[in-house]
C-alpha cells in the first residue's frame, strides 16, 4: 500500500537514514540493537499514521475483494468523511454489485457521430476527473474519410464540426474480455468484473503504470498530481470502484459509469450524446440495441488482431 499523500511520502525515510549508515552489527549489544529496530519501526508507524489524510486504518486496508460487509461500511464511512473534510459536501457512496446475466457493451455509429465532444465533457463531470491537469477518458479522433489509419488521426481538432471529408471516432476503455492491463498488474489492483467491466481499486493501486504500458488503446490515465476539482464541480453520486475522488499516484480509466449502469441508467456519455451515436446495453439480452446491432450491422473493433476482445463495437450505416 503506497502512501499517496504528497506531504508525507518523504517522512518515513528521515528516521531511516540514520539506520542506513554502515553499522557493524556485531559491535552492538543485543539490547541496543533491538532498541534501534524498535525506534525505527515506531518512527515508521508514526509517520505512516500521520501521513496527511492517510490514516493507519487506510494503510492497513485490505484488498476490495477481501473486504467483509462490515469492513466495507468502515471504509466507506472513512471515504465519506475524507471527502466531506476536503469538499465540505456529503456524498452518496454506492458499491453496486454486477447484475447476474448482464454483460455490457457499447456500439458507436461512426456515420452519426459528428465529433462535438459532448460525451467527453459529460464524462469529466460525471466522473470527478481532474480539471487541471485536465484528464479525459474519451478521445475523439478526427480521421480522413475512407481511411482508418489512427496514426493520421487528430484529437485536438477545434471549431465547427463535422469538417468536410472527415469522420470522428470516439475511443475509450474497451473493457476487453482478455485485458492485457489486468494480467500485467503486479498487485491485482485491477480486474474484470462479471458484467465485463474492468475496474480499478484506487486504494490498492501502487501507481507502477504497467497497465498503461500494456493497454493497446491508451485508455488508462495516471494521476501525476492530486486531482484538482472545485467543490461545485463535485458529483456527489459516487461509486467505490468508479467515480469517487481519486488520490494522487493511482491509475484510473473508463468504467462504463458502473455506479449508474448497474442501477439501470445509461452511462453519462451515452446520455449526453446529442446525435444518438452511442448505443449502450446488455449484450446478453438478444433484444437489446447493442445485441441487435452486433447481429445486424457489420461491426468492427479496434485492433482486433490483438485478440483482446473489446466491448466497444463500431459500425457505419
Partner 1 sequence: MPKASAICLVACLVASLGLLASGCKEDAPRLDERPLLLKGAGKAKVVVSTRIGRSRLHPCQQCHDKVSRTQDAGGKPSHPPLPLTNKHEGLQFDHYDGIGNCYRCHSAKNMDHLELMTGVTVTLDESHRVCGQCHGEKMRDWRYGAHGKSIGSWAKTRYRMTCVDCHQPHSPAIKPVVAMPAPPFPKGGIPKTGGH
Question: Where do contacts with partner 1 occur on this chain (CB under 8 A)?
Answer: 99, 102, 107, 109, 112, 114-118, 120-121, 133-134, 136, 139, 154-162, 261, 264-266, 271, 273-276, 279-282, 285-290, 292-293, 296-297, 315, 317
Scan for cell 475522488, then name that residue. Answer: 245
Comparison of 195 and 203: residue with beta carbon closer to partner 1: 195
Comparison of 20 and 287: residue with beta carbon closer to partner 1: 287
Question: Residue 285 is inside which H or E element, if any?
Answer: none
* HSE, side-chain direction, 13 A CA sphere, residue 268: 24
Comparison of 87 and 106: residue with beta carbon closer to partner 1: 106
Comparison of 61 and 130: residue with beta carbon closer to partner 1: 130
Q: How far apart (Å, rounded) are the C-alpha atoms in residues 68 and 124?
A: 31
Enumerate residues 6+ apart whose C-beta is below 8 A from 24: none
Query: At closest approach, how far in Å is the CB of 187 from partner 1?
Result: 28
Query: At closest approach, how far in Å is the CB of 245 from partner 1?
Result: 21
Pick from 188, 182, 152: nearest CA to 167: 152
Question: Phi/psi of residue 137, each to 5°?
Answer: -80, -35
Pick from 251, 218, 253, 257: nearest CA to 238: 257
How distant, in Å, are the alpha carbons of 32, 142, 166 from that of 147?
A: 73, 11, 9
Query: At closest approach, how far in Å is the CB of 45 from partner 1?
Result: 40
Comparison of 226 and 275: residue with beta carbon closer to partner 1: 275
Query: At closest approach, how far in Å is the CB of 297 from partner 1?
Result: 6
Query: At closest approach, how far in Å is the CB of 64 from partner 1?
Result: 24
Query: At closest approach, how far in Å is the CB of 18 from partner 1?
Result: 39
DSSP labels, 41-102: HHHHHHHHHTBTTB-HHHHT---GGG--HHHHHHHHHHHHHHHHHHHS---EEE-PPPPTT-
Comparison of 267 and 310: residue with beta carbon closer to partner 1: 267
Amino acid at each position: 500500500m503506497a502512501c499517496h499523500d504528497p506531504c508525507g511520502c518523504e517522512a518515513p525515510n528521515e528516521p531511516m537514514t540514520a539506520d542506513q549508515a554502515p553499522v557493524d552489527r556485531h559491535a552492538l549489544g543485543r539490547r541496543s540493537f533491538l532498541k534501534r529496530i524498535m525506534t525505527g519501526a515506531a518512527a515508521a508507524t508514526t509517520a505512516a499514521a500521520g501521513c496527511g489524510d492517510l490514516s493507519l486504518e487506510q494503510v492497513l486496508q485490505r484488498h476490495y475483494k477481501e473486504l467483509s460487509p462490515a469492513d466495507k461500511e468502515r471504509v466507506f464511512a472513512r471515504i465519506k468523511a475524507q471527502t466531506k473534510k476536503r469538499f465540505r459536501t456529503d456524498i452518496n457512496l454506492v458499491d453496486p454489485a454486477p447484475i447476474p446475466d448482464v454483460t455490457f457493451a457499447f456500439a458507436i455509429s461512426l456515420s452519426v457521430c459528428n465529433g462535438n465532444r459532448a460525451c467527453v465533457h459529460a464524462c469529466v463531470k460525471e466522473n470527478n476527473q481532474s480539471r487541471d491537469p485536465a484528464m479525459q477518458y474519451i478521445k475523439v479522433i478526427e480521421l480522413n474519410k475512407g481511411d482508418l489509419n489512427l496514426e493520421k488521426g487528430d484529437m485536438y481538432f477545434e471549431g465547427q464540426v463535422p469538417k468536410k471529408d472527415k469522420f470522428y471516432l470516439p475511443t475509450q476503455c474497451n473493457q476487453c474480455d482478455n485485458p492485457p492491463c489486468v494480467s500485467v498488474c503486479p498487485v491485482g489492483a485491477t480486474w474484470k468484473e462479471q458484467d465485463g467491466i474492468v475496474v480499478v481499486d484506487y486504494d490498492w493501486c501502487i501507481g507502477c503504470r504497467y497497465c498503461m504500458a500494456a493497454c493497446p488503446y491508451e485508455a488508462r490515465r495516471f494521476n501525476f498530481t492530486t486531482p484538482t476539482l472545485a467543490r461545485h464541480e463535485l458529483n456527489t453520486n459516487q461509486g467505490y470502484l468508479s467515480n469517487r475522488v481519486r488520490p494522487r499516484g493511482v491509475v484510473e480509466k473508463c468504467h462504463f459509469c458502473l455506479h449508474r449502469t448497474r442501477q439501470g441508467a445509461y452511462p453519462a456519455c451515452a446520455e449526453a450524446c446529442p446525435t444518438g451515436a452511442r448505443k449502450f446495453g446488455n449484450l446478453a439480452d438478444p433484444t437489446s440495441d447493442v445485441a441487435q446491432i452486433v447481429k445486424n450491422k457489420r461491426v468492427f473493433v479496434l485492433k482486433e488482431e490483438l485478440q483482446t476482445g473489446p466491448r466497444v463495437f463500431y459500425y457505419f450505416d
